[in-house]
Amino acid sequence: MNVQIEETWKQHLQGEFEKPYFGQLTDGVRREYAAGACYPPGKLIFNAFNLCPFDQVKVVIIGQDPYHEPGQAHGLSFSVQDGVAFPPSLQNIFKEIHDDLGTPMPTSGDLSRWARQGVLLLNATLTVRAHQANSHASLGWQHFTDAAIKALASSREHIVYMLWGGFARSKAAMIDRTRNLVLESVHPSPLSANRGGWFGQHQFSRCNQYLAQVGETPIEW
Active-site annotation, residues: 65
Within a 10 A sphere around the Cβ of 167, how many other Cβ atoms? 15
Sheet holding 59-63, edge to edge: 119-123, 59-63, 160-164, 181-185
Strands (E), the chain: 38-39, 59-63, 119-123, 128-129, 160-164, 181-185
Structure letter (DSSP) for residue 183: E
Question: Would you call 128 helix, strand, or coil by DSSP?
Answer: strand
